[in-house]
Structure formats: structure tokens, C-alpha cells
Amino acid sequence: MTKVFRRLAEGDLGVVRVILVIALIWIYFQANNSHFLTAVNLTNLTLQTAGLGMISVGVVLVLLLGEIDLSVGAVSGLAGAVVAVLNVKHGWAAAPAILAGIAVGAAIGGAQGAIFAKIGVPSFVVTLAGLLAWQGMLLVVLGKTGTVNITDPGIVDLANKFFSHAIGWIVAVGVVAAYAASNLSRRRRRQAANLPVPSLVAVAVRIGLVAAVTFAAILVFNADRGLPLAVVILLGFVIVFDAITLRTVWGRHIFAVGGNAEAARRAGIKVDRIRIGVFALASALAGCGGILLASRLLAVNQSSGGSDTLLLAIAGPVIAGTSLFGGRGSIWSAVLGAVVIGSITNGIDLLSYPSSTRLLVTGAVLLAAVIIDALTSKRRRAVGR
């Protein structure tokens, strides 16, 4: 049994750490305001988290490369504005408008990635220029009115639709079944190849934990308005991109480039192509996040994607264990980090502390996370020699 726990700890230490942090934050706020852990508030918390988490998924990809993208906030605002303006002012249907917004994001990221990879301008400089330029472009797209209100249910529903209880349970059972099937089939494949396999108990514990969290979440959602569509969208993206990074050649090569670009090049990996692809994808995901944020706000305005969107979108994954030094991290850190930040924001709003407190606390959590990141990287280097 202790072996099971050690394996769990070794395999997912980063994840366990973040979950502990989230637990502490929740306990603190619940102790100070009994409204915090109600179904209504927890559902609101996930809705507040979805847009930022989506942007962070792209940020994780860029961080895995060992690079940074400072334009994701501005790109999210611009993509949201493109969708809103096309839909409201030009009468485009929701779906093509959304696709156009995402395409704008992808094109911006592709261009920034190419300038970084082909010309050799450091990524933080290219994307800093992008941050300014796309903020300017946002104002141009919005035009004189400055605010565009969204009413088309095709867009509004994204962050405001809830599924019935039954559908919530079906989704939950489906997710758990898929997780169990993939774990067991991986175990079977290893067994067939005569490789050591984790004990069935360990696998069962993992599946049990995932099932417990999933079903608890559905219980909470169903006690309020039901499973939000925004949550389904975000988790869908996270599951897909987690699989892409861990189970495909392209994902493997992202880690390789982030860990040692020269080694990747010598292994015949087209490093430039990986870099450009990742930047394009990250901006497209920032666009998706921007659309979710616009849907939640029911509008796009001049400050969309501004203020602390960028900083929080980068801080989240780093808080949840994705390294700023490249090559280490996971897509799940996007969600977990967003939950940490969302919980702090939500709790502090509930306790009606001033927003200075929110910034100070978030800053302190980020600093602690970065220090842990730097220390573990240093220790790894020390062990490596």
C-alpha cells in the first residue's frame, strides 16, 4: 500500500502539490465565508476560470518550447472583437464568425512564430511588439463605439448554456469510462510486450480518484444550474491537447526542442517548423479563450484581453508546475493554475477585500511557484552532472 502511495507521489507530485494548494485556499475562504463552497459559487468559479484556462493551454505549449508569448492577452481581445464585429455589425452567422476569429489568432501566431524562428528575434520581443500592435488593432476593429454587445445565442451560449442533469451524468460516466479504458489498454500493451506494469491496485486507485473528482463535480453542477457548456469545451480542449503533447510525435518533439534545441536539430527534427506551429496554435487558443471571455461578458470592449489577462494566463500554468525554462510541464497545469487564480479572485471578491489584496496574494503565490521551479531545475542540473 505504501508502494502505491509512493508511486502516486512520484508520478504526479506536481499535480498533488497544486491540488493541496487549491484545498488550502478553499478551506481558508470557506472558513471565512460559508458561501464560498456552495454549488452556485463553485459553478461561477468554473465559469470565471474557463476563458483564462483556455488561453493558458496555448501558453503551456509555448512554455514547453522554452519560449514566452506576451501577446496572448491582446490576441484574445482581438479575436473576440473580430467575432463580435463580424457577427453583430456584418451579420455573419455565429459559426463562421467564430472560425474567422480563431483564424485571425492562428495567422498572428504563425507570423510571430516565423519572425522568431526564421529571423531569430527573441520570442519575448516579437510578442511584446505584438502585444502593443494587437491592442491597437483591437481599437481599430471596434471602431468609434468602442463596445459591441453580443446577443446571438450561437456565441452567448458558449459561456451561458447549462446541460440537463441527465446529460451531465452521461458526460461524467463517459469521461471516467474513457479514462479507465485508456489506462487499462496501456497496461495491457505493456504486459503484451513483457514490460513491467503498475499493479492493478495502483491503476484502480488512479481511476477511482478521477471518478470521485468527476462525479463530485457533476453533483455540484447539478445542485446549481447544471454542467456548463464552457466547462465541457475547456476540458475537451485540455484532454485533446494533453493527448497531443504526450502521445504524438509532434508533442514529443515540442518537449525535445524545449529541452535541448540543438539535440533536436541533430536528431533531424525540423525545429523551426515546430516553433512556428506552436506559436500559431498558441495564438489560436488565445483566440478561443477570448471568444469564451466575450461570451461570458456578453460584449467586447476596448479593455478586452487587457489589464491582467496576459499575466494571469502565464502565471496560472507556472503556479501549477509548468517550467519557465522549457521542456517540463503539462497541459493540465493550464486548468489547475486557472483554478488557483480563479479561487483567489473569487474568494477575495466574496470577502470584499480590496483588489490590492488579490494582486498581492496572486503575486506571492506566483513568486513561490517560480522559486520552486528554479530550485528544482537547479537541483536537476546538479544531479545531472
- Where along the sequence are the contacts to other proteins (CB under 8 A)? 186, 189-190, 192-195, 247-249, 252-253, 255-256, 258-260, 262-269, 326-328, 380-381, 383-385
Residue 90 is given by DSSP the state S
Q: Rounded to the nearest whole angstrom, what is the least distance from the CB of residue 69 to other proteins in the complex?
A: 20
Which residue carries 450561437 as its cell?
154
Q: Rounded to the nearest whole angstrom, what is the least distance from the CB of residue 329 to other proteins in the complex?
A: 10
Q: Rounded to the nearest whole angstrom, what is the least distance from the CB of residue 270 to other proteins in the complex?
A: 10
Measured from the CB atom, the residue of 42 and 256 that comes closer to other proteins is 256
Residue 27 contacts residue 224 (beta carbons within 8 Å): no
Distances (CA, A) of 364 to 19, 51, 73, 311, 374: 17, 23, 22, 14, 15
Distances (CA, A) of 47 to 159, 223, 234, 321: 7, 15, 10, 23
CA angle 77, 80, 86 (to 5 degrees): 135
Measured from the CB atom, the residue of 33 and 183 that comes closer to other proteins is 183
Which residue carries 493554475 as its cell?
337
Integer Cα distance of 292 and 276 in angstroms: 25
Measured from the CB atom, the residue of 301 and 333 that comes closer to other proteins is 333
Helix axes 271-297, 153-160, angle to 10 degrees: 90
Helix axes 39-64, 332-350, angle to 10 degrees: 140
Measured from the CB atom, the residue of 98 and 281 that comes closer to other proteins is 281
At 257, list the grid cell.
526542442
Measured from the CB atom, the residue of 51 and 329 that comes closer to other proteins is 329
Measured from the CB atom, the residue of 155 and 320 that comes closer to other proteins is 320
Q: Rounded to the nearest whole angstrom, what is the least distance from the CB of residue 327 to other proteins in the complex?
A: 4
Rg of the chain over all Cα atoms, to the nearest angstrom: 21
Q: What phi, psi does 149 have (nearest 5°)?
A: -90, 140
Q: Rounded to the nearest whole angstrom, what is the least distance from the CB of residue 318 to other proteins in the complex?
A: 16
Distances (CA, A) of 359 to 22, 282, 312, 345: 17, 25, 10, 9
Measured from the CB atom, the residue of 213 and 263 that comes closer to other proteins is 263
At 269, list the grid cell.
527534427
Integer Cα distance of 331 and 251 in angstroms: 11
Beta-carbon-side half-sphere exposure of residue 365 (alpha carbons within 13 Å): 30
Measured from the CB atom, the residue of 165 and 186 that comes closer to other proteins is 186
Q: Rounded to the nearest whole angstrom, what is the least distance from the CB of residue 376 to other proteins in the complex?
A: 11
Q: Rounded to the nearest whole angstrom, what is the least distance from the CB of residue 267 to other proteins in the complex?
A: 3
Is 157 exposed, middle or buried, given 0-12, 13-18 or 19+ CB atoms closer than 10 A? middle
Measured from the CB atom, the residue of 32 and 191 that comes closer to other proteins is 191
Measured from the CB atom, the residue of 90 and 266 that comes closer to other proteins is 266
Residue 94 contacts residue 154 (beta carbons within 8 Å): yes
